[in-house]
Structure 1
Amino acid sequence: MTNLVHSPLMTLSLTVDFAAMRMIGQTPAGLRRIAPVTGGTFVGERLNGAVLPGGADWVINRPDGVMVIDVRLTLETDDKALIYLTYQGRFLAEPEAMQRFAKGALLDPADYSLAVTARMECGAAQYNWLNNAIIVGTGQQTATGPLYSLFTVG
């Protein structure tokens, strides 16, 4: 049996318009909000470009204190190929840190854990390999939106 290895795929930086966040409200699953993603960039050895406006993060703050994220984005590579990126994950922190986060505070990375699993779809032949990639990542909070390190596994 071979060991699974991970390889760096890209660093993904998102710009989120927190002021335009839509409050759906309390649902059976938790507090639902939708945060618009207005742009960003991605940089990697085989993949570089811009995050196009129009994506969003469909966030749920569950009753147990966990923030669940569900993000859908369109990426445009430097050579103009379009890629659909979707990822799901969770933001974990102690209750006190989550309260500060909810008020807009920047947390120390040691105070939380942000992890995701992702999928990509692309019709451009040069990026066909993305359609079968297993992608995982970790993230950091910034003032303008999350910053992710994404890796392929396999």
Structure 2
Amino acid sequence: MRAVAAIETRQLFDVVVDLEPPLATGGGRVLFRAGGGSFAGPKLRGEVVPGGGDWATFRPDGSMTLDVRLTLRTEDGALVQMTYGGRWVMPEEVRAEIGDPATRHLVDPARYYFRTAPLFETGARDYLWLNDIVCVGTGYPVEGGIAYRVCEVV
């Protein structure tokens, strides 16, 4: 086995996605549509374009598999496609609180596992570097939506 560098991360941005009411499509599948939102970090900031969403699947154990597609618009007008999969593992003792819109944002994120792996695609010259990075994120509910801290793997 070869010695390799340790995996390190640095913050890319924090994003809040405003969600519209969910659409249950059956078989444990739910569409959480994005109604807008915003993102900000050291190298870029802007808004979440309405119209994307999470085509989530709830597993029998109460955990959720994410399949998210969003479009970001930077403050200078560049469009960036953000896609990610992930897992939201909710222990049984927090499922009722997370399932209630009135309390989900109050649940301590240390009580569940909510991780994502975002990738980006853009043709905007100033942001082409996004096409070549790998990121990880940690999610948590906020009032009216969901938020993530997204970090670049360096």
- TM-score > 0.5, shorter chain as reference: yes
Aligned to 1:48: 45
1:5-154 matches, within 5 Å, as 5-18=8-21, 21-26=22-27, 31-104=28-101, 105-106=103-104, 107-154=107-154
SS in 1 for 2:50: coil
- 1:19-38 superposed Cα distances (whole Å, 9 cap, x missing partner): xx211112xxxx00101100
Unaligned runs of 5+ in 1: none
Tell me by how many angstroms 1:7 deviates.
1.1
Unaligned runs of 5+ in 2: none
Identity of aligned residues (%): 36
Question: Which residue type is aligned with residue 11 of structure 2?
Answer: P
Considering only aligned residues, what root-mean-square deviation do their CA atoms show, in Å? 1.2
Tell me by how many angstroms 1:127 deviates.
0.5
Alignment coverage as a number of residue pairs: 148
- 1:52-101 superposed Cα distances (whole Å, 9 cap, x missing partner): 10011111110122111111001000110000001111111211311332
Question: Which residue type is aligned with residue 50 of structure 1?
Answer: E
Question: Which residue type is aligned with residue 9 of structure 2?
Answer: H
Question: Which residue type is aligned with residue 85 of structure 2?
Answer: Q
TM (norm. structure 1) is: 0.90
Question: Which residue type is aligned with residue 142 of structure 2?
Answer: T
